Structure 1
Amino acid sequence: SCHHTIIPSFILKLFSNDFILHFLNNYWVFSFFSFCKPCDNNREPELKFVEIEGCSEKGRWTIGDLKMQTGRTDVNAVTNWNAPLVWEGTFDPVVIDAIYKRLDPRVAVMVLAVGKYTRFLKGFLESAEKYFLVDFRVTYYIFTDNKQDVPKIELGTGRKITVLDVPSATRWQDVVLSRMKWATIAIDKQIRNEADYLFMMDVDSIFHSRFGAESLSPLSAVLHRGYYKTTRNDFPYERRGTSKAYIPPDEGDYYYTAAVWGGYLEEMYKYCYKQSEEDAKNNIEAVWQEESHLNRYLLYNKPTKVLSPEYLWADYDQVPEDIRVVRISQLVKNYAEVRPNGGQ
């Protein structure tokens, strides 16, 4: 086999790190890849080294020496715009975690725990410490109106909790809509200097299995469990033309959940916040609040990675055969008891 094959720096200049990750991490099996961090854009790339298994001649390799990882024939593993669609069996978890650990990214996780939802923090955090990006640097940003209810959790090395104050709400819809507002404010004031990736997650969820670096990309969206087998005619898009979340009947790729999604700290949060504010000025509320605005954003700003419903299932639903592993799942709860307006 080949060891420490040199990739000249002029070749690396042709591709961004994200392209290389997209190409190699999601489609090809290899032993190791090393390159400079995304933030080092102004640094001259150095000679890089790759170990390729099965190379025909030591010290040399070609694209043919890289083995395609298919793994699944029962699901689509790529979108129609050629982004990876990630399922169990379509990636090598050891390899992809090793690649991203070389980059040493800082990952932020933002959750809202307002009112009675603080009761879900302990289970969310403890299970995340067991399964979410283990051995990576992670900061949990907890937005709450009840600081005293944030539990003390034993955290791994390089992981921490930051608690931020937000006001209470009288409607659960306002809690949902306010997430983009608080995310926008926190990103600009604090998170931008402390993280490279940000995940937005629902706190009333529990991790059940590995949720690793295969989830990282500039913009990662999760297929909604209820609509990943249906057509766009069944998607609950906002169809009222008066809303900023409007999607025409003949458009739409997938329906994405707003309960888990992530990526770079870019304009998507600010976009969804501003669009919902415009709707409010016009006395309209999108049918599924921030999720409707998110789906419109993702229609015209394609995700660089789409995650299967493994990355957010629900304890309400039976697990079908194509979901080989449930990585995180929403809990069964009494909405009328936990929501500020009785679930209405």
Structure 2
Amino acid sequence: MQPEKNEKSSTRKCFCVLIYLVLLSLASFCWINLKRSRWHPQLTICDPQTKAQTDVSVSRLEHLPIASLESMLYEKPNALKPPRTDVLMLTPWLAPIIWEGGFNIDILNAQFHQRNVHVGLTVFAIKKYTVFLQIFIETAEKFFMVGHKVNYYVFTDRIKDIPNITVAEGRQLVVLEVPSYQRWQDVSMRRMEMIRDHSQQRFINEVDYLVCVDVDMKFSDYVGVEILTDVFGTLHPGFYGSSREHFTFERRKQSTACIPPDEGDFYYAGGYFGGTVEEVFKLTNFCHNAMMTDKANHIEAIWHDESYLNKYFLYHKPTKILSPEYLWDNNFGGRDFLKKRRFVAVPKNHNAIRNRRALNDYSRLRAKLKFLG
């Protein structure tokens, strides 16, 4: 009888040990998987036939393209000698200000070619402004983003007036029909709405960056990938070097574009801004919504879309700033700091292109500009 009891007791002990080992194995397995899941993202795959789900550990880093290294010869940068000392080249928030002599375009081209970037260039050829499109596109073909893929997005209310222009391989001219407005101020302000809407509906699927400029201009020197960044603005040539009190910001507190007298970094031009499609969408969405708020309160900012652009850049700092090289009017003459004139205004008869009120507005603007020579 005693041996039988000992045998049963031994069997129970073996069974308990076995159960303990199984539980220990399960606990170890769960702990290892939990630890691994902290470091490896899980992709859940659903089988449409069985509705079964399988967790597959996949890292998105595994799908990144292999980096290729190419040799390049160029002059070594001198850490003790800045490229220029006559102009400001860096903002307090560490955004570079783009000047001739401050970058190596060959290095930048190589970097952006590796990324295979596609750039969109938007212009508004509304009413009689279609007359500027020919020289705009022809000079852009010669100087703008040479060697890179470009889409020209032309907003117009006069499709029949758009000239037949042949563009280089890798580039295309896209004509977008939009409504017109009686006042040029309304045309100017509605640009923000149209760029915003097309960014969401089309541009986001076609290009990586957007450059938004005026059409009554021409390229006279190279403008390349050195300008590309998350979001950029351009220094207004008429206010370069001026103090805050001379900036024609919107000062009325009732306006959403209001900038207090003791605030403001630079005065940015409304006719030249850009960045990634996502950032341009955010910028134009803010400006349009602010305009609509003011319109509901019967307020129109002093310089229309440009006033709202300056308000946006005050509190959403641009990640690059273009110098007056990128937006110039030859009526200002030459300046010692200006080594390039990359994008210049086309001489025009404002009375013929706009209406009489527009001419008067333009004359008042010229009278306000205090340029430091």
Q: TM-score scaled by structure 1?
A: 0.81
* Residue 261 of structure 2 corresponds to residue 246 of structure 1: no
What is the CA distance between 1:70 and its match in structure 2?
Answer: 2.7
- Where does 1:176-325 land on structure 2 (aligned, <5 Å)? 176-265=188-277, 266=279, 267-325=282-340
Matched, 1:326 2:341: yes
| CA distance in 2: counterparts of 1:41 and 1:139, whole angstroms | 30
Corresponding letter in the other structure for 2:250: E
Mapped contact 1:335–1:342 kept (Cα < 8 A): no
Give the 3-state SS of the residue equivalent to 1:294 in structure 2: helix
Aligned length: 296
Task: Measure how far apart 1:300 and its partner are.
Answer: 0.6
After TM superposition, which residue ranges in structure 1, 4 or more long, deviate above 2 angstroms? 40-55, 65-70
Q: Measure how far apart 1:53 and its partner are.
A: 6.5
Residues 85-105 of structure 1: per-residue CA shift (max 9 Å, x gap): 110011112211221121111
Q: Counterpart of 1:21? A: none
Ranges in structure 1 where 5+ consecutive residues have no aligned partner? 1-39, 56-64
State the match for 1:137 in structure 2.
149
Which residue of the partner structure matches residue 113 of structure 2?
Answer: 101
Instruction: Determine which structure has more spread, i.e. the larger CA radius of gyration.
Output: 2
> Structure 1 residues 43, 249: closer, same or farther in 2, change over 3 A?
farther
* C-alpha RMSD of matched pairs (Å): 2.1
Determine if contact 1:206/1:328 at 8 Å carries over to the other structure.
yes
Q: Aligned letter for 2:190?
A: S
Amino acid at match of 2:138: E
The question of whether the paired residues in 2 share the 8 Å contact of 1:52 and 1:66 is answered with no
Cα pair distance change 1:314/1:194, threshold 3 Å: same
Write out per-residue CA displacement over residues 206-244 of structure 1, whole angstroms, 9 at most, x where no aligned residue.
100000110100111110001111111111111111111
Question: Whole-Å Cα distance in 2 between the matches of residues 277 and 106 of structure 1?
Answer: 32
SS at match of 2:237: coil
Q: For each residue in 1:137-181, what CA deviation from the matched residue of structure 2 results, as whole angstroms up to 9, or x when unmatched?
A: 110111101001111112111100111111122111011001001
341 and 143 in structure 1: CA distance in 2 versus 1, 3 angstrom threshold: farther
**Deviation at residue 52 of structure 1 after TM alignment:** 7.7
Deviation, structure 1 residue 330: 1.2
* SS of equivalent to 1:258: coil
Q: Give the percent of matched residue pairs that are identical in Structure 1 and Structure 2.
A: 39
More helix by share: 2
Unaligned runs of 5+ in 2: 1-59, 361-373
Q: Secondary structure at the match of 2:188?
A: helix
What's the CA shift for 1:51? Answer: 5.0
Residues 200, 262 of structure 1: 8 Å contact kept: yes
- 1:312 to partner: Cα distance: 0.4
What secondary structure, in the 3-state scheme, does the structure 1 residue paired with 2:272 have? Answer: strand
